Amino acid sequence: MAQAAIELIGINKSFGAVRANRDINLEVARGTIHGIVGENGAGKSTLMSILYGFYQADSGEIRVGGKPVSIHTSNDAIALGIGMVHQHFMLVDNFTVLENVILGAESDALLKSSITKARSELDRLEREYGLEVDPDAVIEELPVGLQQRVEILKALYRGAEILILDEPTGVLTPAEADHLFRILKQLKDQGKTIVLITHKLREIMAITDTVSVMRQGTMVATRTTKETTVGELAELMVGRRVLLRVEKGQSEAGAVKLSVKNLTVKDQRGVTMVDNVSFDVRGGEIVGIAGVAGNGQSELLEAISGIRHAVSGEVMLDGKPIDLTGKADPGELRDRGLAHVPEDRHHVGLVLAFEENENSILGYHDDERYLKGPFLDVDAIMADAKDKIEKYDIRPANPRLKTANFSGGNQQKIVLAREMEQDPGVLIVGQPTRGVDVGAIEFIHKRLIAMRDQGKAVLVVSVELDEIRSLSDRILVMFAGRVVGERGPDATEGELGLLMAGVEHQEAAE
Amino acid sequence: MDMFNAIVQVLDSTIRLSVPLLLACLAGLYSERAGIFDIGLEGKMLVGAFAGASAAAVFHSALIGLGTAILISVAFALVHGFASITHRGNQIVSGVAINFIAAGSTIILGQAWFQQGGRTPALQPGERFEAIIWPGAEAIRDVPIIGPIYAELISGHSILVYFAFAMVPFTWWVLFRTRFGLRMRAVGENPAAVDTAGISVAWLRYRALICTGILTGVAGAYLSMVQNGGFVKDMTAGKGYIALAALIFAKWKPVNAMFACLLFGFLDAASIRLQGSPLPLVGKVPAQFMQALPYVLTVILLAGFIGKAIPPRAGGVPYVKER
Ligand SMILES: Nc1ncnc2c1ncn2[C@@H]1O[C@H](COP(=O)(O)OP(=O)(O)O)[C@@H](O)[C@H]1O
Ligand SMILES: [Mg+2]
C-alpha cells in the first residue's frame, strides 16, 4: 500500500443545527485518484473545504504526508501543497486570467515581476498539460470550461501536489470532461494526488483508483474501484431507509391535467439542466420523479410553476399553456388551479418571520374570503388558520406563533395545508418530506394520496426513493436533465437505482 | 480681458473647492473598492477638521494639526471597520452612526474646550498651511494668458492642494500596479476568491479603511486649516455626500474621480460667482439649482443615461462564510 498523502481522522463540522460532517475518517494514498461520491448535501464540499482551510473543523485531525498539521487558513493548505478547484469557482470575474492566477501568489509588492513570471510559467503549464487559455482574457467573457482551466492553473501555479476537484464535470460538456480526465491522468502519472468529488458514478468507474461514499454527513464506505460496481455505489449513496408504505387503492386516472412537452431549461451559466423532457399527469394519479439530486428536478419544478425561464417546449395546464418566460404571474396560476409546494420551504414557501396565520394564507391573501373591503379580515383569517391547524394536526396549535418557531415537519404542514385546502386541480410538490420527522411523513403521504383519490393530478419530486415508490402510480427517473425511464410502482429499488445512476436500460435489465 | 480674468478666477476657486471633494472621493474609492460602503466620509472629514484645527491652535503647529486630523479620522475609520468587518454589521447604519457622532461630538467638545460656540480659536500664521508661491509667479503675472494661468491656477495653493492632485496618479498606481491594489480590487469583487487564495479578507479590508481614514483626515484638515482659519460647526456641509456622488459618477476610477470632483467644484464655484447676476438666455439661475446639480447629474447617471455605473460586486455585503 502506497504511503498516505492525506489522512483525515474523526472530522466533525456543524453549521448551526446542520451536522455537515460527522466523525469522518478518510485516507488518500499518494499518487492515486480518489473519488468521493454522495448526494447533494452529503457533506463532500464541506469536508474538502476543511482540508483546504476554508472552513475550520469543530474537531478532528488532519495529517499530510504522515505528519499531523494544523490548517487554519487556505494559505496553510497551499503551503502544504494542497490546491482546490471549488464547485463554485473562486475567480474574480472582471479580472484577467493572469491577474486571477497571481492573486495571493505575487512575488513582491509590485505586480510587474509577478506578471512576467506568471506569463512564462503559464506558457509552460499550457504546453505541458494542454491547458490552453489566453492569459489576457477577462474571466467573465470565458465559457465555464475555460474558467475551470484557470482554476486548475491557479492550483498548479502554486505548486499543488494534492489537487482537490469539487464536482468539476457538472459544468462541462462530455468532450471537455474527457479532456479534463486526460489531464488528471497525466497529473497522476507525475505523482500528484487527486481527490475527485462527483455524484456521477460513471466518472468514478472510469478514472478513480479508490472511491469513498458519503451519506448525510457520514462516510459510509471506501472501496477499491476495480472491486465495486455502479449498483453497489448507488445503493450506498442513496441508502436504504425503513420502508414506509402507506396503504393506497388502485388509481383511477382520468383526463390529462398537466402536460409537459419537449421542455428544455438552462441555468444561469447556460448549462442545460432539463433536456427535452415530456410527460403527462392525469387527474387521479400521482406521478413521481425520482433521481439523484441535481439532475434537473429542481429546474423542472421551477419551470412548470412559472418561476424559471424555459428555453423551449411547452407546459399545458388543463389544455391551456403556461407562460414559460419566467415571468408568469403566480397568482394567475393559482386561480387556474395550480398549487405548488416548493422544495425550499424556508426561502420560497414561507416567510419565517411571519405568524402562522399569515403564512397560511400567503399568496391567497387577495381572495375574497380573507378580505373585508380593502382590508384583511383578521377574524376570517384566524378562523381559517385554526381550521387548518386542526385538520393538519399542526403543533403547537397556535396561529399567532412565529413560523420560524415551528419544527420542520410542522412548517411543511403549514405549506401543504395552505396549498391543498385551496382545492387545486393540479398539485406539484417538491421534496414533500425533506427534514420532516417520521410521524409527519406518514401524515403527509396520506394527505397526498387523499388528493389523488379526489381526482386531482399530483406531481411529486423527491430524492427519497422509498417515498417515490410508496406514493407514485407512475415513476419517471431523471438523470442529467433527461427522463431516462418510466416504471410502475412495483419497480425494484435496484432497478431504479441503476436508472438514477445513468446506467442504460439494457444493463439495468441484467 | 475682463472676461478672461473672470474665467481664471472661477477656475481658481474651482480648484480650491474641488480639493476636499477629491480627497474625500479618493478616500471613498479605497474603501468601496475593497467592498466596504462608506457613507461616513462626511463624519470622518468633520472630525478631521475639528481635530486638526484644535491641535493646531493648541500646539501652534500646522503639522501637528494635520497629524492629529489624520489620527482621529483613521480611528473613526477603524470603528467603521470594527462594526462592518469584524462584526459584519450593516455598513450604511454604521456610516450614518459615525456621521451623527461626528456632528454631535465636534460641537460639544469644541464648546467644552474653547467656549466659542463650537468654533475653535482662529488659527494664526504658522498654524495653518500657507499658499506656496512658485518661482517667478509674481514676475510673469502680467504676461497675457500664461501669466494669470501660472500665477493663479498653478502657483499659490497650499501643499494640501498639490497633495490632493498628486494622490490621483498615486491611487491609480496603487490600484493597478501593486500587490495591495490587486488584492484590494479583488476583495471588493469576490472576497471568497481572496480568502481561498490564502489572503485574510478582514486584514485587507482594514488596511483599505486606514487609507480612507488618512485621506478624509487630510480633507478635514484642508477645510479647517486651509480654506478656513479654524473649525466651524458642520463645516463639511454635505461634501462627504457629494464626494460619494462623484465616486459613482467616476465609476470608482481615480482619474475619473478627479474630473468628477473638478466638475462638481466648478458648479459650486460658478454658483458663487453667478449669485444674483443673470446669465444670457436663461436669466437668473437660483443658487440652489446649481447646488443640486451634482446630485441631479448622479441620478441621471444612475438611471443609465450616461453609461452604466457598476459598483464593486461585493460592496455593502459583509463577508460571511458560514450561514
Ligand atoms: N457555509 C455554510 N453554512 C451553512 N450550512 C452549510 C454551509 N455549507 C454547507 N452547508 C450545509 O452543510 C450540508 C453539507 O453541504 P455540502 O458539504 O455542500 O454537501 P455536498 O457538497 O455533498 O453537496 C448541507 O446541509 C448544507 O446545507
Ligand atoms: Mg458540494
Q: What is the pLDDT of residues B16-73, one digit of tens each?
A: 999 999 999 999 999 999 999 999 999 999 999 999 999 999 999 999 999 999 999 9
CA distance A54 to chain B (A): 7
Residue B293 domain-assigned?
A: no
Q: Is the CB of residue A251 below 6 angstroms from any atom belonging to ligand 1?
A: no
Please indicate whether residue A208 or residue B4 has the higher confidence score (pLDDT): A208
Residue A43 in contact with ligand 1 by CB distance below 6 A: yes
Q: What is the pLDDT of residue A509?
A: 42
The owner of cell 476636499 is: B20
Asked if A279 has any chain B CB less than 8 Å from its own CB, the reply is no
- Write the pLDDT tens digit of every residue in A280-338: 999 999 999 998 777 899 899 999 988 888 999 999 999 999 888 877 788 888 889 99
DSSP 8-state symbol, B155: S
Distance A125 CA to ligand 2 centre (A): 28
- The more confident residue out of A268 and B15 is B15
Q: Which of A207, A241, A233 is nearest to A498 (CA)?
A: A233
Which of A40, A45, A200, A215 has the most ligand 1 atoms within 8 A of CB, as the residue to mutate? A45
Query: Among all residues of chain A, which has the CA nearest to that of B195?
Result: A74
CA angle A35, A36, A42 (to 5 degrees): 170
Pick from B183, B196, B253 the residue to mutate for testing the A interface (most A CBs within 10 Å): B196
The domain containing residue B181 runs over which residues? Answer: 19-130+141-245
Segment A103-121 mean pLDDT: 94
Cβ of A73 within 8 Å of Cβ of B194? The answer is no
Calpha distance A183→A162 (Å, rounded)? 14
Neighbours of B238 (CB within 10 A): 13
Domain membership flag for residue B61:
yes
Q: What is the pLDDT of residue B301?
A: 72
Q: Which whole number is the average pLDDT over A59-67?
A: 95
B170 touches chain A (CB under 8 A): no
**Chain B: closest CA distance from residue A75 (Å):** 4
* Inside any domain, residue B269: no
| Three-state secondary structure string covering A141-210 | HCCHHHHHHHHHHHHHHCCCCEEEEECHHHHCCHHHHHHHHHHHHHHHHCCCEEEEEECCHHHHHHHCCE
pLDDT digits (tens, 9 = 90+) for A272-296: 899 999 999 999 999 999 987 778 9
Cα B123 from Cα B49, distance rounded (Å): 13
pLDDT at A503: 75
Sign of torsion over alpha carbons A451, A453, A454, A458:
positive
B116 falls within a domain: yes
pLDDT number for residue A439 = 65
B313 contacts on A by Cβ (under 8 Å): 93
Q: Does residue B118 form part of some domain?
A: yes
**Lowest-pLDDT range of A71-75, A112-116, B6-10, B166-170:** B6-10
Q: Answer yes or no: is pLDDT of A497 > 50.
A: yes
Q: What is the pLDDT of residue A2?
A: 59
Q: What's the mean per-residue pLDDT of chain B?
A: 91
Residues 299-318 of B with CB under 8 A from A: 313
Average pLDDT, chain A: 89
Q: Determine contact, residues B35/B315, Cβ cutoff 8 Å.
A: yes
Asked if B190 and A91 come within 8 Å (Cβ–Cβ), the reply is yes
Task: Say whether pLDDT at A183 is over 80.
Answer: yes
Residue A145's pLDDT is 84
Residue A172 has pLDDT above 80, yes or no: no
Q: How is residue A128 written as a grid cell?
A: 505541458
Total domains in the fold of chain B? 1
* Structural domains present in chain A: 4-238 (3.40.50.300), 256-354+421-500 (3.40.50.300)
B214 close to B70: Cβ distance less than 8 angstroms = yes
pLDDT of A25 reads 96
Degrees (nearest 5) of the Cα angle B199, B36, B68? 95
Q: State which ligand 1 atom lies nearest to the alpha carbon of A197.
A: 21
Q: What's the pLDDT score for residue A441?
A: 78
Is the pLDDT confidence value at A243 over 50?
no
Q: Give the residue, A327 or B90, on which the prediction is more confident.
A: B90
Judge: B177–A112 Cβ closer than 8 Å, yes or no: yes
Residue A94 in contact with partner chain B when CB distance is under 8 A = yes
SS3 of B319, please?
A: coil
Which of A233-247, A340-354, B103-117 is predicted least confidently? Answer: A233-247
Does the pLDDT of residue A241 top 60, yes or no? no
Per the DSSP assignment, residues forming a β-bridge with A29 are A4
**In the predicted structure, residue A87 carries a pLDDT above the cut 60:** yes
Supply the pLDDT for residue A142. 87
Q: Do A111 and B197 touch (CB under 8 A)?
A: no
Query: pLDDT for B115-132, tens place per residue?
Result: 998 899 999 988 999 888
Is residue B260 assigned to a domain?
A: no
pLDDT of residue A469 exceeding 70 = yes
Its pTM stands at 0.77
A109-116 mean pLDDT: 94
Q: Contacts of residue A111 in chain B, CB cutoff 8 Å?
A: 177-179, 181-182
In the predicted model, is pLDDT for residue B294 greater than 60?
Answer: yes
For A62, how many CA atoms within 13 A lie in the half-sphere containing its CB?
21
Q: Which residues of B touch A91 (CB under 8 A)?
A: 190, 193
pLDDT of residue A450: 93
Task: State the residue for C-alpha cell 441555468.
Answer: A267
Using most ligand atoms within 8 A of CB, pick from A15, A26, A40 the residue to mutate for ligand 1: A15
The answer as to whether B80 is a domain residue is yes
Is the CB–ligand 1 distance for residue A49 below 6 Å? no
State mean pLDDT over A408-424.
Answer: 90
Q: What angle do CA B53, B156, B124 make, to 5 degrees?
A: 30
